[in-house]
Amino acid sequence: MKFAIISAGEGSRLSQEGVQLPKPLVKLSGKSMIDRLIDIFIENDAEEIVVIINNEVQMTKEHMVELQKKVSVPLRVIVKTTPSSMHSFYELSKYLKDDKFCMTTVDTIFREDEFADYIEAFKNSDKDGMMAVTDYIDDEKPLYISTDENLKIKGFHDLKTDGCKYISGGIYCLTSKAISTLEKCMENGLSRMRNFQRELIVDGMNLEAYPFSKILDVDHASDIVKAEDFLNHKE
């Protein structure tokens, strides 16, 4: 199974708030966020890891070159500045077409034991996709998810509606079938990952929600301490 990381954003909010490191290199309890994700993926038997970073931050590019020399699995690094996460996914998708894969953004913070259970569940699943969800809402623009009683995903919503217990956690386990939907989105000029997910439903994909206790994003300087406390089980 392959794993992928979207890390092509500028991290402008963090830098405006005084964080000097580029977002992928921001440290949580002494380890950069991108290193943490890669280590977790390796622990979950990654066959290959594909990462996209933007072309504007030399420090991140240098870090990834050194990391490629150290890790124990193939690490492919795409250097390209993109206008959205969905465009970044499109660049990654060229290397994800032949297998099940898991993709997330570099600042997605979760507990490792929950993630391992999630990956194992997807490996043994016949679903077209399994989306990580949480009922913990600490997002400026959450994407609400409606499901049936068996956690089959019925829709993705900008506003909370009946049947929306969960929001998207920003971790996506998908089969190669999803790539054709992504390509259609690109051809039709769509952007944003949430629109891609809606198109998965339109295309009849069988998607299941997989609940995590909590998933955080590091968008602001204050989120760094919050993420460290969460990972150290202080909250």
Residue-wise pLDDT for 169-223, tens only, equals 999 999 999 999 999 999 999 989 999 999 999 999 999 999 999 999 999 999 9
Q: How far is CA 135 from CA 17, 66, 111, 166, 219, in A?
A: 28, 38, 15, 5, 19
- CA nearest neighbour of 64 among 90, 32, 92: 32
| Distance between CA atoms of residues 27 and 177, nearest Å | 35
pLDDT tens digits along 132-162: 999 998 878 899 999 999 999 999 999 988 7
- CA nearest neighbour of 201 among 134, 148, 153: 153
Sequence-distant (6+) residues with CB within 8 A of 60 are 7, 22, 24, 25, 34, 53, 54
pTM: 0.95
What is the rounded radius of gyration, in angstroms, for the C-alpha atoms of the chain?
17
